[in-house]
Structure 1
Amino acid sequence: MTIRVIDSGARSVEEALSQATAQLVERPDLALAQAQQLLLRAPGLPPAELIACQALRRLDKAGEALSRLSALATRGHTPPAVLWELAQAASEAGETRQAIAALGSLTRSQPGVAGGWFLLARELRKDGQVEQAWRADLSGVHAASRDPELLDAAVAMHEERLEDAAAMLEARAARVPEDPPACRLRAEIHWRSGDMSAALAMVERAVALAPGFDLARDFLIRLLLQNNRLPDALAHADILVTSPVAGPGHDLLRASVLVRLGDQEQARRIYEKLLDNDPAQPQLWQNLGHVLKTLGRQSDAIRAYREAVRHQSTMGEAWWSLANLKTIKLGVDDIAAMRQALAMIEKHGSSKAEDQFHLHFSLGKALEDAKDYGASFHHYDLGNRLRRAMVQYDAAQFSSEVAATAATFTSAFIASRGQGGCLAPDPIFIVGLPRSGSTLVEQILASHSQIEGTMELPEMMTIASRLQSRVDEGEFPDFRAMVASLTPADRRRLGEEYIDSTRIHRHTDKPLFIDKMPNNWQHVGLIRLILPNAKIVDARRHPLSCCFSGWKQHFARGQTFSYDLTDIGLYYRDYVALMAAYDEAAPGVVHRVLYEEMVGDTDRQVRQLLDHLDLPFEPACLEFYKNDRAVRTASSEQVRQPIFTSGLAQWEHYRPWLGPLMAALRPLL
């Protein structure tokens, strides 16, 4: 704003304006006095009038400031600085419509200034103009995408210079504290640094400041999913799909939340609607196949997976999903198509590294069904080697952790803990290794009138991980000291946390429910401390059968030990050792179900299992294959059929190549 002072006092006026401006933040009263003195010398001087109004607003006199700013804005062309101050004064004075009008003029004259758009969005939202507010937030995000400071910070972040990026944004926050795009960027820096709590807090702030910031809300949903805060994730996903510029990505994200919540039907409807609009979407066909498989609609799932590979022949996960149905066989034409897809990947590459190992696992299964066991092992081995190179797993370190757990939960230690924990009898934990028959046990129990089947729930793993982090961060010298520090009240609180957080997965009024997370065998001691009335069932299978079946199974996540024959053999040994230690420390607490015995004498084994759970026998448990509940594991189709014995010794066909596994398991064989 040009200062037009003709007399010899021009320099002193400029200096006075500068001094008054400098006082605005810390001493607005002094800034107002200086501006008023200037206005006595130069009546109507616009810069002095603006400073006076800025000072009045900071002195909580927004109404008086607004009156003077309105008069100032009528003097011909209104500078952006006046429009900005007018909008803020109108907002604070409750004159929303006047604020909207000023901000409309400001954003038209300066569309690249993000702050104007965000303030406009806030005022529009006050006025009930929700869609217009949403669009204003999106315009603010678009304007911020060209901000040099934010661009520099983003470049530093993507170059893994996280400290540099954080320093840039912290300096900016001192000047612009309410800056949604900067908050979103700071959240990602925290996330990349491993500080999930700070990441969540910062992205939640970004969404609170700009509810129409779709990219921030998308990021928030993904972080909530990572933290297993499923109800919160769904609430935000429900908002995101109402965006005025909503796209299929928003629907897909909501569907993924619904799948995690076990609402397969609603997810199915989303996928089918999207495919009606555009059927040439292999990823959508694959996602649809997953939910159809979980719902027990095998023929429809097969069709969906085949549509996926028809549209994209190199889509390894879709091929593996077909092979992983277990109850169908991929034929000669499928084997040829998969080999051709592998050749294409080797020649041209793939945008997804996992396509290659998925295809090897799929060929392993197809060739196994064709009884070409040498070629089958070759592909299983290649798939496992590729996958093993992508994960971090230290068998020796894991064995040490298991040994520490066994040494902690001795009979003396358990007795010394006394009473405590949440007394709810609701949970039935089915633990063990994957591919051990646990899904069969789950399906049998879920067919009982008093038991609800849920899924592999992560809540106990989350609690255990949080407790272990206290050791990792140095709060306690070791695991035993940390567990010993838990008071009866602590244990009750943790048990109640588990019951409360798993409630979202329960959809009936049945008094008991199943948590089939297999890895919970590592936490049987913790379970008994915080949920003393919970039941624990150990589903166990012959070591060679179990380990080989796990090795040739590609798991979506979590089973990093399973991609090497030696690793999985050692893991099985650790599991057996810990369960044996717990049997000695607390005899009878864990009920063991041996898969081979369940298959050989189902009636007797089911009755013994129900006796352990203090439940009456029900014939429906023997007709578990008639239960149409959703099942998400690799055995989803097998448990929809009566008991069969054909898979008991599949490992025998591969005996010549299982030397490393046999060596690892030798003490148990």
Structure 2
Amino acid sequence: MTSVGGHPRQAELEATLTAHLDQARARRCASKEHAIAVQTLCALGRHGEAAALLDRLAAMPAGTAEDDEALGFAAFAAGAHQLSRDCYARVVDARPDDPLAWYNLAAGERTIGQLEAAEAACDQALRLSPGAYEAALLRSVLRTQTVDRNHVEALQGMLERAPAPPAIISLHYALGKEYEDLGDYDAAFHHFSCGATVRRQTLSYEVADDVAKLRRIIESFDAGRLALAPGLTPPAYGFIVGLPRSGTTMIERILTGSPRARSNGETDNLLGALGEGAAATGADVFERVAGANGARVLAGYARRAGSPAAGDIILEKLPFNYLYAGAVRLTLPCARTLLVNRAPADNLFAMYSTLFGSAYPFSYSFGDLAAYYFAYSELLDHWRKVLGPQLLEVAYENVVSEPERNGRKIAGHMGIAWDDAMVRIERNKTASATASAAQIRRPIYRTAAGRWRNYERHLRPLLDLLEAGGIDPFRARNGPEER
């Protein structure tokens, strides 16, 4: 958890907002000054105003390429992905020889589901800059590679010339993905392992610190405190939580197949609202959040996330909001929490084989993964005991096996009317900026369940650690065995 309370630079940010809006009005176009205003509004938690400003900017005359580049970045961060993509497309038109502009366009195309256009933009970035390793990694994850159409040879050449850890790491993950698609699992694991090892070496991180935080959450949100939680009210908000790569994005896509549900994606709205409502005193941040004022938290969350119309639901899918499930129960009786579980062998390997940004630093070694998972499992056991009907647990394996039956159960918990068509996630056109952005453009599939079997020999040290700690690696907490 980060520090809580009012924004430490509130007055400075308000002054910045006023100054840049004044400068933007003088320019009479969608400008970089507007971009700074959008970012400042988001920093102040005024997301509704930021969204309204972005809507106005979409109808304004374009400025320079520099303006579009700034707006593309700000719009992406604010979740206005179509506008972001359009801004980056204008940057490419103005600067066709700029490989970074093409990479930004590729990322924008991927987010809105235009995967072929994203691949073409990656290709152009690499033609202009053969060492553009970020474009190489993005291109590898956009589709399933085939014997006749892959980039293994090019990636191997790039890896031989890679100058520094960031490039080396990305290229190993790209090769791991492509070799897996080609069915060469030994080569795939070699590259995933090399990438993870180098990434771990670049981090200053101790998993024991995270383990201590999870145990402190259990202490701060004990059964006595949770017994004082207010009664639940009809749902207006929903939180989809779980480890990354557990299936949270797939379930978000199912639920947003309803016209009565929309998702803000992965945001810090909840943490910001908890910071506003946190108690002024307490032994540490965990205790202050546990003593948060519910009315202030709800008001702060509604301002950030929006207020749904009657009968509508606003979702948030930030996986590690599992940390704050107790705070949700104490402060947001109009919310429901959905915890997505997945067989640990699959879930942890999916994390190990994914290159995240700054989040989830425990993902890059088997020892860290096992240690974190033990503490995570203890936290989930605690939430199961104290959160009552606000929490529903669901297994990824059950959803992909029987999507309509389990989708109906999930939707009912979240207060969303069910329609069997909601499981056709490939028809859902909303944007996604998650690690699963390419996969969720396909129909629901079962092939990712049991993926660990292809790597069992390599995963044996991790599986042994889990089993020694009393964890069944092959079964989700409430799902079928995937042995």
**TM-score interval w.r.t. the shorter chain?**
0.7 to 0.9
- 2:338, 2:392 within 8 Å by CA — same for their partners in 1? yes
Q: Which residue does 2:122 correspond to in 1?
A: 305
The one of 505, 517, 534 equivalent to 2:335 is 534
Task: Say whether residues 1:551 and 2:352 are aligned partners.
Answer: yes
TM-score, scaled relative to structure 2 = 0.83
Q: 1:430/1:236 Cα in 2 relative to 1: closer, same or farther (>3 Å)?
A: closer
1:416 match: secondary structure: coil
Q: 1:465/1:368 Cα in 2 relative to 1: closer, same or farther (>3 Å)?
A: farther
Q: Distance in 1 between matches of 2:358 and 2:44?
A: 15
What one-letter code is carried by the residue in structure 2 that aligns with 1:413?
A: R
The one of 122, 132, 155 equivalent to 1:315 is 132
Q: Distance in 1 between matches of 2:66 and 2:380?
A: 45
Q: Distance in 2 between matches of 1:254 and 1:509?
A: 33
Task: Say whether residues 1:339 and 2:156 are aligned partners.
Answer: yes
Q: Distance in 2 between matches of 1:361 and 1:228?
A: 35
- 1:327, 1:637 within 8 Å by CA — same for their partners in 2? no
For the pair shown, which has the larger CA radius of gyration, 1 or 2?
Answer: 1
- 2:241, 2:321 within 8 Å by CA — same for their partners in 1? yes
- 1:324, 1:634 within 8 Å by CA — same for their partners in 2? no
Task: Say whether residues 1:410 and 2:201 are aligned partners.
Answer: no
2:264 match: secondary structure: strand
Q: Which residue does 1:293 correspond to in 2?
A: 110
Q: Please give the residue correspondences for 1:513-524 in structure 2 after superposition, counting only pairs within 5 Å.
A: 513-524=314-325
Q: Please give the residue correspondences for 1:484-633 in structure 2 after superposition, counting only pairs within 5 Å.
A: 485-486=291-292, 490-503=293-306, 511-633=312-434
- 2:20, 2:34 within 8 Å by CA — same for their partners in 1? yes
Q: CA deviation at 1:589?
A: 2.6
What one-letter code is carried by the residue in structure 1 that aligns with 2:432?
A: V
Q: CA deviation at 1:483?
A: 4.2
Q: Distance in 1 between matches of 2:47 and 2:332?
A: 23
What one-letter code is carried by the residue in structure 2 that aligns with 1:386?
A: V
Q: Please give the residue correspondences for 1:427-438 in structure 2 after superposition, counting only pairs within 5 Å.
A: 427-438=237-248
TM-score, scaled relative to structure 1 = 0.61
- 2:342, 2:396 within 8 Å by CA — same for their partners in 1? yes
2:447 match: secondary structure: coil
Q: CA deviation at 1:442?
A: 0.9
Q: Distance in 2 between matches of 1:551 and 1:465?
A: 31
Gaps of 5+ in 1: 1-193
Q: Distance in 1 between matches of 2:338 and 2:354?
A: 23
- 2:229, 2:329 within 8 Å by CA — same for their partners in 1? no
Q: Distance in 1 between matches of 2:83 and 2:310?
A: 21
What one-letter code is carried by the residue in structure 1 that aligns with 2:295?
A: R
Q: CA deviation at 1:219?
A: 6.9
Q: Which residue does 1:187 correspond to in 2?
A: none
Q: 1:249/1:642 Cα in 2 relative to 1: closer, same or farther (>3 Å)?
A: same
Task: Say whether residues 1:382 and 2:194 are aligned partners.
Answer: yes
- 2:240, 2:252 within 8 Å by CA — same for their partners in 1? yes
- 1:285, 1:307 within 8 Å by CA — same for their partners in 2? yes
Q: Please give the residue correspondences for 1:5-16 in structure 2 after superposition, counting only pairs within 5 Å.
A: none
Map Cα deviations across residues 479-530 of structure 1 (whole Å, 9 max, x no partner).
56424543xxx211111111111129x8x98711211111100100111111
Q: CA deviation at 1:228?
A: 5.8
- 1:360, 1:379 within 8 Å by CA — same for their partners in 2? yes
- 2:48, 2:304 within 8 Å by CA — same for their partners in 1? no
Q: 1:365/1:398 Cα in 2 relative to 1: closer, same or farther (>3 Å)?
A: same
Q: Distance in 2 between matches of 1:425 and 1:304?
A: 42
Greater share of residues in helix? 1
- 1:203, 1:216 within 8 Å by CA — same for their partners in 2? no
Q: Which residue does 1:395 correspond to in 2?
A: 207
Q: Distance in 2 between matches of 1:254 and 1:403?
A: 41
Q: Which residue does 1:477 correspond to in 2?
A: 283
Q: Please give the residue correspondences for 1:172-321 in structure 2 after superposition, counting only pairs within 5 Å.
A: 196-197=9-10, 200=13, 247-321=64-138
Q: Which residue does 2:264 correspond to in 1?
A: 454
Q: 1:567/1:467 Cα in 2 relative to 1: closer, same or farther (>3 Å)?
A: farther
Q: Distance in 2 between matches of 1:390 and 1:230?
A: 34
Task: Say whether residues 1:439 and 2:254 are aligned partners.
Answer: no
Map Cα deviations across residues 117-141 of structure 1 (whole Å, 9 max, x no partner).
xxxxxxxxxxxxxxxxxxxxxxxxx
Q: Distance in 2 between matches of 1:374 and 1:548?
A: 14
- 2:270, 2:301 within 8 Å by CA — same for their partners in 1? yes
- 2:257, 2:425 within 8 Å by CA — same for their partners in 1? yes
Map Cα deviations across residues 423-481 of structure 1 (whole Å, 9 max, x no partner).
6732111000111011111111111232123311221133446778x89xxx4224564
Q: Which residue does 1:114 correspond to in 2?
A: none
| Percentage of matched positions with identical amino acids | 25
Q: 1:239/1:643 Cα in 2 relative to 1: closer, same or farther (>3 Å)?
A: closer
Q: Which residue does 2:168 correspond to in 1?
A: 356
- 1:545, 1:648 within 8 Å by CA — same for their partners in 2? yes
Q: Distance in 2 between matches of 1:216 and 1:627?
A: 33
Q: 1:426/1:202 Cα in 2 relative to 1: closer, same or farther (>3 Å)?
A: same
Please say which of residues 429-438 and 608-617 is displaced more in the overlay. 608-617
- 1:427, 1:534 within 8 Å by CA — same for their partners in 2? yes
Q: Which residue does 2:3 correspond to in 1?
A: none
Q: 1:430/1:283 Cα in 2 relative to 1: closer, same or farther (>3 Å)?
A: same
Q: Distance in 2 between matches of 1:603 and 1:400?
A: 39
Gaps of 5+ in 2: 1-6, 473-483
Q: Distance in 2 between matches of 1:374 and 1:465?
A: 46
Q: Which residue does 2:439 correspond to in 1?
A: 638
Q: Which residue does 2:236 correspond to in 1?
A: 426
What one-letter code is carried by the residue in structure 1 that aligns with 2:116?
A: S
Q: CA deviation at 1:383?
A: 1.7
Q: Distance in 2 between matches of 1:526 and 1:515?
A: 15
Q: Distance in 2 between matches of 1:591 and 1:231?
A: 29
Q: 1:388/1:604 Cα in 2 relative to 1: closer, same or farther (>3 Å)?
A: same
Count of residues in Structure 1 that have an aligned counterpart in Structure 2:
460
What one-letter code is carried by the residue in structure 1 that aligns with 2:296?
A: R
Map Cα deviations across residues 295-323 of structure 1 (whole Å, 9 max, x no partner).
22221121112111121121111111122
- 1:230, 1:257 within 8 Å by CA — same for their partners in 2? no
Q: CA deviation at 1:656?
A: 2.3
1:592 match: secondary structure: strand
Q: Distance in 2 between matches of 1:366 and 1:225?
A: 37
- 2:274, 2:297 within 8 Å by CA — same for their partners in 1? no
Q: 1:223/1:629 Cα in 2 relative to 1: closer, same or farther (>3 Å)?
A: closer
